[in-house]
Amino acid sequence: MALETKQYLQDLAGPQNPNTSKEENPNIAFREKQAKQINNERVNAYLDKLPDGVELAKIPAKYKGSVQKWAFAKKSEIAKLKLGIKNTPAGSPQNLQLRQMVQEKESAFENLNNQLTNYHTYKDEYLKTSYAGNLSDANNPNKVNMLSGIYTDKMDMLISDSGDLMFENDGGAIKFNDLPDYTVKDNNAAGEILNMNEQAFKLKAPLSKGQEQIYRLKLNKMMNNRDTVKSLAMDDFIMEGGLGLPRDLIYDDSRSEELKQIVTDSYLDMFRNTALDSYNTNQSKGRFNSGTASSRKYKARLDNINAGWEALGQGDPSVLNRTLSGNDELVPLEEEEGLYTYYNGSKEIVVDPNDPNDLQYILSGQNIPDDMWPKTQKPSSGDAQSLIEKYSE
């Protein structure tokens, strides 16, 4: 805005005696007032713009009336504030205060619009998830009941002065931004579990320590978020009712790591048992390839392998290596003392001489008929409660 210099007075009143005062020439005062008013109107017009309001398409029919009532009241307040702005000098304390109040009202519109947009999106996602049967059984039933009431328009909607959405019933009110999340069934993780179980079945042999470690790593990688762990624990992908874990363990965020360990161990036990069942079923078929060697020859070789396996448990692989045919060989594993790598043709298998199940890899590699193999037993994994006690110690 131009300063009140002599040139400024001349611009207002036209060519005349520059010493003429405003009192002596009323035209100067009038034109100055008019210029300031025009300036204020231009500044106000540039800075002030009534909000477009809320998009009613985002609002269920039940709530449109209350939203429209709120929006009308807010627009009326803004209009009154802007009238005050128009009648105050631009940049004055009162003008700035009124502007700040207008900004607060307009921010409330923006806040409401954003929350209605999110509400529309979340509602659509929730209803689709629920209709498809993909709400996880890991969800707290009380929270699901509340969410279903909100997203099916069973609750009343309130709007705060700042544009926050709230939902209310006889039990109280909750802000939209404070609504709890919900867990969706992790069908992708369940598919991976089923594939891993199928791979264990196709082995037709008990899992080695090395294979168990690989399965454990895959499970840990898969369960990198809490919702996946909860879904694998509670949803009946493999067995009805999930793993049968107590709900207080599922809901307690402070026990997340404990829950993950229990779920991992439970599925690892399932893989072990599947592999063992497959092996024992295959054994029961009684296959015996007697066309190239007699039963007594295989029995003698089996005795030698058993003797070598016993020596291996004492840390001496030489006895078993002398027994192995072809280029098969057992080599101590550098990474972990007491374990050995069994080289069988192009295969490399880590075996533990303290695990009786691992003997099966030697027997298989040496083509010992599987109906002559010693029977193996399923590991005692314990029930869900024993796992909880194990990891909560």
Rounded alpha-carbon distances, angstroms, from residue 195 to 41, 65, 89, 221, 238:
72, 53, 75, 15, 12
Q: What stretch of H or E contains 344? A: strand 340-344
CA–CA distance, 249 with 262 (Å, rounded to integer): 10
Beta strand 329-332 pairing with 156-159: unpaired
pLDDT in tens, 293-309: 456 777 778 888 888 88
Which contacts qualify for 331-335: CB closer than 8 Å, 24 or more apart?
A: none
| Model confidence band, residue 30 (pLDDT cutoffs 50, 70, 90) | low
Report whether pLDDT(381) > 70: no
- Which position has the higher pLDDT, 18 or 106? 106
Rounded (5°) CA angle 135-136-141: 85
pLDDT in tens, 146-175: 888 888 888 899 999 999 999 998 878 999
pLDDT in tens, 123-135: 889 988 888 889 8
pLDDT in tens, 55-64: 556 678 888 8
| Model confidence band, residue 389 (pLDDT cutoffs 50, 70, 90) | low
Q: What stretch of H or E contains 269? A: helix 256-284
The mean of the pLDDT values for the chain is: 79
CA–CA distance, 388 with 263 (Å, rounded to integer): 10
